[in-house]
Amino acid sequence: MSDPADHAHRALSFGARAAAYERFRPGYPDALADLVVAYAGRPVRTALEIGAGTGKATRVFAARGITVTATEPDPAMLAELRRHLPPTVRTVRAAFEELGPGERYDAVYAAAALHWTRPEGRWPRVAALLRPGGVFACFGGPVRPADPDVEEAVRAARAPFLESDEAPPPDGASPAGYDPLWPGAELGRSEWFTDVRQSTVERRLTMSARDYVGHLSTVSAYLTLPVREQEPVFERIARVLPPTVGIVADVTVHLARLSVPA
């Protein structure tokens, strides 16, 4: 289990690099929204997004004509989202835990954000936001060099500053880095959800070395380094990168259906 104080600090670190987050983080493919809508098996007219960030996932759902309510606790991230998304997207500055009872949605989803939420009461809270028969979707995954030699060179370059640059694992996940089975196992044990499914949307991207370093500058492990260490670690990494970096950015998707009235 990760340290709660460190976890909270990292969860709220992204706003300092909101513009870079929008510029360098990969977006999500249209196939992702198609997958969620097909799983729902009925029209998805409204959706609530947990931890929307700068709206990387928001835009693919809004483009399907879904009325999205995007929630985000960081004001700088939310401001960046508002600069890029249409006014049809409703925005709410709030952490997931601050969302009160009231409106319910056809779908609730989280894009690389659920692991930042608190585990206590997580599933009944999601259930309370869904209409009967509504669906929950959670998706994300690491962005890493496709070439193992480049990945190892990056690891060695950052080693004097960081043992790992992965997000801290949520409670219930493997303690050793990204766990592709989470939160599926939790959802399967929950009384609130049924028909739990896991799938993968494969993505292969290319980035310039500069853009890959820009991407790393939006990762919480680097954002929470002492300021005096950030420039040196990025310089060390830049020196070991080829001019163009092949990227594996597969999206692991978990889907579940509300099983009981909330």
Could you report the per-residue pLDDT of 177-210, keeping only the tens digit for each? 556 688 998 998 999 999 999 999 999 999 999 9
Neighbour order of strands in the sheet with 251-258: 90-92, 67-71, 46-50, 105-111, 130-140, 251-258, 193-201
d(CA 49, CA 137): 10
d(CA 183, CA 87): 32
**pLDDT bracket for residue 13 (50, 70, 90):** confident
**pLDDT bracket for residue 43 (50, 70, 90):** very high
Q: Which of 80, 82, 78, 86 is nearest to 61 (CA)?
A: 86
Residue 100 CB burial class (10 angstroms; 0-12, 13-18, ≥19): exposed
Mean pLDDT to the nearest integer, 4-23: 74
* pLDDT over 70 at 174, yes or no: no
* pLDDT over 50 at 71, yes or no: yes
The pLDDT assigned to 260 comes to 67
Percent of the chain at pLDDT exceeding 90: 80
The per-residue pLDDT of the chain, averaged, comes to 91
Could you report the per-residue pLDDT of 74-117, keeping only the tens digit for each? 999 999 999 999 888 999 999 999 998 789 999 999 999 999 99
Mean pLDDT to the nearest integer, 145-149: 98
The pLDDT assigned to 17 comes to 86
* Cα-trace Rg, the chain: 18
Domains and CATH numbers, the chain: 4-142+172-203+249-258 (3.40.50.150)
The pLDDT assigned to 241 comes to 98
The pLDDT assigned to 178 comes to 53
Which residues, at least 6 apart from 103, have a Cβ–Cβ distance to it below 8 Å? Answer: 69, 129
The pLDDT assigned to 175 comes to 47
The pLDDT assigned to 233 comes to 97
Q: Which of 201, 219, 85, 89 is nearest to 144 (CA)?
A: 219
